[in-house]
Structure 1
Amino acid sequence: MNLLRFQILVMLERLKKVTSVANELGLKQPTVSFHMKKLEEEWGVPLFEIKTGKVLLTEAGRLLHHYAAEITRIYKEAEIRFAALQQTGNQHFVIGCTDIASSILFAKDWFSLVNEGLELQMKFETGPSHLLVERLKERSIDLIVNGGTELSYESESLLHCEVIREMPLSIYMADSHPFAKAAAVPSYRLSSYPFVALDDIDLQASLRRWEEHEKVKLSMKFSTDRVEQTLSAVRTGHVLAMLPELRSPQLLSGLAGVPLTGEQPKYSLTAMWRTDYWNPALIQRMLLFLKDLLAQ
């Protein structure tokens, strides 16, 4: 197997020109043509055809491209991981979180726990749940934390999930709001108050289930995809928000959180990782780390 030839095949499918592939790889055009010929000799079938000045893949070429793309992607992943290992002496581990998951996890002195408890080169990324799941499938993220509802039927055999904490949703309001001193807020009283929605697919799924059970409909005046922006709007006293239990003193400054009566909606903070992850023991260490963060 020749990795360069697989890279040429993958790039030809994208660029359609031998000269473009040669320029991108820093090779001469005859060198690229030589490797194309050797690929066809190696696999014993025509892989390329020229139409209107473009290099197109034959059906056999498209079949080989499927495997070549995966092989080159895995090789690139190995390069990145080993570069981090050579630079720091530690393994590289990437955790992806939705904004709401990061607001829950990294509430207090999380850096000390990372710095003292793990001999890893850690990277934390945030993004919407569906994009994190796609990056997890592609192996560019090792583990993600979200609300758990993004796992589709097609992904069930590829990804493993574990709920690391279930937490009730609460109504958040300015600490000057009339509800702020209440022990709990009846659901029927909420329909007359405007809300700001946090644009998180997992949270919205929990809210819909609660609304259906309680037979109420909240008035969502606007939405944002950031927890900090949501809480900033709530601090004005003009809107309320329904969010999972938050623990950060900075986030909760000037706010009050009050539980609901009736059916208690839950938010399931969930870890996801690939079932074929290369180091299952490392995943278990990271799950313990996340649970330690939540126990702070």
Structure 2
Amino acid sequence: MNESHLKRKKRSLRDRTRNVRIAMLYLLPSLLLFSVFLFYPMIKTIYLSFFLTDPQGNAALFVGLENYLYLFELSRFQKSMVSTFLFVLYTVPSGVVLALFLALIANEKLRGIGFFRTLFSSTLGMSVAASSVIWLFLFHPTVGTLNHFLAFFNLNPVSWLLDPGWALISIAITTVWMNTGFSFLILLGGLQNIDRNLYESARIDGAGYFYQLFKVTIPMLSPTLFFIVTITFINSFQSFGQVDILTKGGPAESTNLIVYSIYQEAFINYQFGIASAQAVILFAIVLVLTLFQFKIGERKVHYQ
């Protein structure tokens, strides 16, 4: 009895070990890619954040936490952090609400709705550079379409990219427009997966459109909304291309988001240690806020 039990235990252990080896074999290509393009750069960045570096980016002098202390005392970095948080505040709620509004419209069974679905998702196929150039013309102070539109209503033209008070808002508008296509498609897919019988039951009970929206649609769509909010939130902290093309961090550093600040310190000022410290701080902020979002937001997610 004991010998038979021991044999079964050894066989089970052998099977589990074989399964682990097979699983690791399948994961090996992904692990290699992650090691080269994610784990090594992350470890290297943390390492360099404790050093002053030479122009080639090699560690020259160990300074411990002085890079971090220097950043927290630097007014330019503080302003960059404020601009970044304002940018996230501008883009995430407005982007999600706009994408949800368009998805609700596109989910209706109307003639020709396929054209509008294609139109609403069209920004998904455009690069950051192409999108930024389009908005560069739209924001032009003299020949831009937006100022012509304002002039039609006898309103004063706006220096969209030259006024510190408008520049960050202009970058936020561009970002929301670029991200709408992806968010729209994901939300539309989520809407189409909701069981139609729920709406039939709500209509039989006399529920109106807005009651169905807040009591049926939003709860059933909450996992998709939670995913979109999380992805949009992380992407907002990583915005770079539109800033580089439209404003280059100006005017008066009003759009000097932290990712663009990292780029300036590393590839313009050649202060790789300072840039690495900023990257570590950004990683820590995004990690903490994302975990907080999971802890608070996931409680309101309704999984079917």
What's the TM-score, normalizing by structure 2? 0.21
Q: Pick the structure with more strand per residue.
A: 1
Q: Taking structure 1 as the reference length, what is the TM-score of the superposition?
A: 0.22
